[in-house]
Every structure is written in structure tokens, then in C-alpha cells.
Amino acid sequence: MAISKRVVLHFPSRSVDQPIIYRLVRDYNLVLNILKASVTPKEEGIMVLELSGARADYDKGIRYLQEAGVRIQSLGQDIMRNDARCTHCGACVVICPTGALALDPKTRMVDFYEDKCTACELCVLPCPPRAMEVYF
């Protein structure tokens, strides 16, 4: 069974000099799409990935990452909308590149589809009431 998931990887500072992502591709046969990466020597690195492959390979790959000391977080919870601040103006819908923020044509409210969000953060600053919040 094939699987595709978006995850946030937190690399401890000691692992930044190891080719972890390379091994993930070669040894576990996973396809990956890097959505965001911030990796600096001697600091904790963060990488947002879309990982796809066979379920068994995916599980083994995740186990490998955990053994290598990488902390894994699923993406859905990383960009959140503060519903108390959102005014449903709709300024974000032309900014979001994946359609995760979209206008419901009937209610004219902005819907946030967390499963489509790639945590690119493009919406955060253009939101006039600053309702989109980042939690890494």
C-alpha cells in the first residue's frame, strides 16, 4: 500500500553532518519533496518533507529517522488559524499556493484545509489581522 505524508523533521545539532536524507532515499526507497529546509551546522535543523512510498518502506524509514535521533512531527498542527482573529476577508486566498485557504462560494467564508497546507508560511504576514500562526 502506498502512502504519502507531510512531516516536520527536527535534526539534533550533532546529526547535521550526516547524510540522513540521502539514506532515506537510497535504503528505504522513499520519494521525497522538500517543502522547507533550514539546516545550519551545530544548530538544530528543521526540514519539512512530503514523504511517499510503500507503507512498509515508510514505516522502516521513519524508524530509521527516530534511531538517528531525528524528532518527527506531523505537519497538520504546525500552521494554525486563530479563528478568533480571522475576519474571513479572503485576502489570503490568492496568496496560498496549494489551495489550503479557499473561499466557500456559498458562505463567502475562508475555509482552511489543513491537509493541503504545506507550511510554506506565505500566508502569515499578508494576513491583515494576522490570524495565521506558526507552531514549529
Partner 1 sequence: MIKTIAEINEKIGRGQAVVVTAEEVIGLVAKKGVERAAREVDVVTTGTFGPMCSSGAYFNLGHSKPRIKVGGGRAYLNDVPVYTGIAAVDVFLGATAIPDDDPRNRIHPGPFNYGGGHVIEELVAGKDVRLVVSAYGTDCYPRKRLETWINIKDLNEAVLFNVRNAYQNYNVAVNLSDKTIYTYMGVLKPKLGNANYCSAGQLSPLLNDPYYKTIGIGTRIFIGGGMGYVAWHGTQHNPDVLRSDDGVPRRGAGTLAVIGDLKQMNPRWLVGTSMLGYGSTLTVGIGVPIPILSEEILRYTAVKDEDIFAAIVDYSGSYPQMSPDVVGEVSYGELKSGRISVKGKEVPTASLSSYPRAVEIANMLKDWIIKGEFLLTEPVAPLPGVKEGITFKPLKERPIEE
Upper half-sphere CA count for residue 133 (Cβ side, 13 Å): 10
Task: Give the residue with the Cβ less far from partner 1, 56 or 94.
Answer: 94
Out of 77, 129, 133, 135, the residue judged to bind partner 1 by CB under 8 A: 129
Long-range contacts of 32-39 (CB under 8 A, 24+ apart): 35/6, 35/118, 35/119, 35/120, 36/118, 36/119, 36/120, 36/121, 39/11
Q: Does 99 bind partner 1 (CB under 8 A)?
A: no
Rule CB under 8 A: is residue 134 a binding residue for partner 1?
Answer: no
Give the integer Cα–Cα distance in Å for 46 and 37.
Answer: 6
Tell me, residue by residue from 45 to 84, as one string, x for binding to partner 1 by CB under 8 A and - for no binding.
----------------------------------------
**Residues at the site binding partner 1, with contacts judged by CB under 8 A:** 85, 87-95, 103, 105, 107-109, 125-126, 128-130
